[in-house]
Amino acid sequence: MYAVIMAGGKGTRFWPLSREKRPKHLLNMTGEKSIIQYTVDRISPLVAQDRILIVTGASHADQIREQLPQIPSENILVEPVGRNTAPCIGLAAMHIRKKEPDAVMCVLPADHLIQDTEPFLASLIAARDMAEKRACLVTIGVRPRWAETGYGYMERGQTADTIGDTKIYQVKSFREKPDRATAESFLKSGKFFWNSGIFVWKVSTLLDTIENLLPDLHEGLCAIGESIRTDREMRALSEVYRRIEPVSIDYGVMEKASDVVMLEGDFGWNDIGSWDALWDVLGKDAKGNVARGRVLRSGTSNCLVHSPDKMVALVGVEDLLVVETDDALLVCRRGASQDVRKVVEHLEKKGMKEYL
C-alpha cells in the first residue's frame, strides 16, 4: 500500500500562529513534533518510507523536505498552484501508477490529530483489504461525539460486506457542514458520521472513476502521467494546472460515485480545525486552562494562551483564546474561533500582506 499525505493549506484557521508560508501542519501544535511529522510517524508501521508521497505547494516544499528528510525527495510532489483535493490526489495517483498500476493507496490529510495509532492502522488495513476485494471507494467515518457544525457528514446505508470483524457499509449520502439544528438531528439519528477525509482505493479504481466523472481532469492527469520522469514533466504539470478547474474529491468524486463504502473508525480523530478544537484536545489544569509559555492565571478558567515569548497575565476571565506572535495578538472568545478566518479575509482585502 502507498500513502498520500495532502499538505496544502493557507494557514487561516490558526492565525496568527499559522500563515500562508507556515500552515498548521508545519507547526508544533500538539507535542514535540510538527503535525505532519506525527502523521508520517503514525503511518510508517504500515507503509514503507519510499511509498509515502506528500503533495504540497512550492512555498512549503523546502520546509517539508527539512522536516521529513527520511522521505525520498522525488516523493514530495509540488503543485504549481492549488487546485483543491481532486487534482492533488489525482496527481499522486499518476505517480503511483507509474510504479505500480494496481496498487492500493490511502489518502490522509497532513493536519489531523489521531490519538490511538493501533486502531487507526487496523482501520486502514480493513479498508485496504476491502479495496483489494472490490473496485470501490472506501472512506472512514467517525461517530460524532457532539453536534459539530464545522465538519462534513456521511450517512451510513446498508451493510455491504465484512472484512474480518469489521463491518463495511454503503454510503447513502454525503452532507456538507450543517447548521446547528441539522447537526443535532444527525447526532440523534445515529446514522451520520463525521467525514474524516481519509480514503482508501486502488489507483486504477480512482482513475477510472475520475475518467467517468471528471473527464477534463482525467485528460490533464494523463498528460502529466506521460511526462513523469522526463524532461517535459515540469512543463506538462504547469500547463495542466493552469487550465484545470479546482474541485474537491468530496464534491467531484465521492458524492457522485456509484460504489462508495465506509467503515467506522474509532481512534481519537480530530481535525483540530480551530483554536477551540486545539483547546479541546490539549491537557488542561484543574480550571480548564491550557497555557503554552509564561502565563499567570488568577481567577481564570477554560482559557487557552499561546505566548512563547511574552509573559501573559489573565485576571478574572474565562473562555478566552489568547495567541501572541512577534507581530500580532489574537484575543477571541472561546466558541468563536471558526471566525478567525474572517480576520485573514479582512487582512487580504486591506492588502496587509505582511500579516498573512
Residue 288 in this model has a pLDDT that exceeds 90: yes
Parallel/antiparallel/unpaired status of strands 52-57 and 2-7: parallel
132 and 191 part of one domain:
yes
259 and 293 part of one domain:
no
Residue 15 phi, psi dihedral angles, 5° rounding: -65, 140
pLDDT digits (tens, 9 = 90+) for 303-333: 999 998 999 999 999 999 999 999 999 999 9
Contact 127, 140 (CB under 8 A): yes
Interval 256-273 mean pLDDT: 94
Q: Quick one: pLDDT band at residue 29, thresholds 50, 70, 90?
A: confident
Q: Which of 270, 292, 324 is the last residue of a domain?
A: 270
Residue 150 in this model has a pLDDT that exceeds 90: no
Q: Quick one: pLDDT band at residue 266, thresholds 50, 70, 90?
A: very high
pLDDT digits (tens, 9 = 90+) for 155-166: 999 999 999 999
45 and 110 part of one domain:
yes
188 and 231 part of one domain:
yes
179 and 320 part of one domain:
no
- Half-sphere exposure of residue 331, counting CA atoms within 13 Å on the CB side? 4
20 and 117 part of one domain:
yes
284 and 137 part of one domain:
no
Number of domains into which the chain is organized: 2
**What's the domain range around 255?**
2-270
Interval 206-227 mean pLDDT: 97
Q: What is the CATH number of the domain that holds 150?
A: 3.90.550.10
Q: Which of 270, 286, 307 is the last residue of a domain?
A: 270
pLDDT at 64: 97
- pTM for the full predicted model: 0.94
Grouping H, G, I as helix, E, B as strand and the rest as coil, residue 356 is coil
232 and 308 part of one domain:
no
pLDDT digits (tens, 9 = 90+) for 45-88: 999 999 999 999 999 999 999 999 999 999 999 999 999 999 99
216 and 302 part of one domain:
no
Cell of 80: 504549481
E strands in the chain: 2-7, 52-57, 76-79, 104-109, 113-114, 137-142, 153-163, 166-175, 192-202, 260-264, 269-270, 290-298, 304-315, 320-324, 329-333
Residue 201 in this model has a pLDDT that exceeds 80: yes
Q: Quick one: pLDDT band at residue 30, thresholds 50, 70, 90?
A: confident
- DSSP string covering 51-76: GEEEEEEHHHHHHHHHH-TTS-GGGE
237 and 301 part of one domain:
no
Q: Which of 210, 240, 270 is the last residue of a domain?
A: 270
pLDDT at 300: 97
285 and 210 part of one domain:
no
Interval 328-341 mean pLDDT: 93
The torsion angle over the Cα atoms of residues 145, 147, 150 and 155, rounded to 10 degrees, is 80
314 and 246 part of one domain:
no
Of 199, 223, 216, give the one whose Cα is nearest residue 91: 223
Interval 120-142 mean pLDDT: 97
Q: How far apart are CA 156 and CA 193, in angstroms?
A: 7
Q: Quick one: pLDDT band at residue 11, thresholds 50, 70, 90?
A: confident
pLDDT at 273: 86
pLDDT at 254: 97
